Amino acid sequence: MWGSEECDDANKEDGDTCIDCKAQECGDGHVGPGEACDDANDIEDDECTSACRFPSCGDGNVQAPEECDDGDADDTDACLQTCLNATCGDGIVHEGEACDDGNADNHDACVGACELPSCGDGFVDANKEACDDGNKVDADACTNICGLPSCGDGLKQELEACDDGNDDDTDDCLATCVKANCGDGQLWAQVEDCDDGNADNTDACVQCKPAKCGDGAVQTGVETCDDGNADDSDACLPTCKPAKCGDGAIEVGVEECDDKNGENTDDCVSCKDATCGDGVTWQKHEECDDGDDIDTDACLSDCTLAVCGDGKVRAGVEACDDGNFVETDGCISNCKAATCGDGHLWAGQEVCDDGNLSDADPCLSTCVPNVCGDGFVDATKEGCDDQNANNNDGCANNCRLGAVALGAGAPNADHSCVVRAGRPAAGATATMASSATATRPTWAMSRSISRSSISWRARLARWSPG
| pLDDT tens-digit readout, 69-111 | 898 888 888 899 899 999 999 999 988 899 999 998 888 889 8
DSSP states along 115-133: B---TTSSS--TTT-S---
Residues in a beta bridge with 431:
444
Q: 314-359: per-residue pLDDT in tens?
A: 999 999 999 999 999 999 999 999 999 999 999 999 999 999 999 9
| 3-state percent helix, strand, coil for the chain, nearest multiple of 5 | 0, 10, 90
Strand pairing category for 18-19 and 429-433: unpaired
What is the pLDDT confidence band of residue 40, given thresholds at 50, 70 and 90?
confident
Containing 443, the helix (H) or strand (E) segment is: strand 442-446
C-alpha–C-alpha distance, residues 248 and 408, integer Å: 99
Q: Are 415 and 397 in contact (CB under 8 A)?
A: yes
Per-residue pLDDT, averaged over 270-288, amounts to: 94
166 and 175 Cβ atoms separated by less than 8 Å = yes
pLDDT tens profile 184-234: 999 999 999 999 999 999 999 999 999 999 999 999 999 999 999 999 999
Q: Which of left, alpha, beta for 270 (phi over 0: left; psi -120 to 50: alpha)?
A: left
Are residues 323 and 310 in contact, defined by beta-carbon separation less than 8 angstroms? yes
Residue 301, burial from CB neighbour count under 10 angstroms (0-12, 13-18, 19+): middle
pTM comes to 0.43
> From CA 225, how far away is CA 194, in angstroms rounded?
22
Q: Is the dihedral of CA 204, 207, 208, 214 positive or negative?
A: negative
| Cis, bond preceding 65 (omega within 30 deg of 0) | yes
Model confidence at 449: pLDDT above 60: no
pLDDT at 295 over 90: yes
Evaluated on CA atoms 68, 72, 73, 75, the torsion sign reads negative
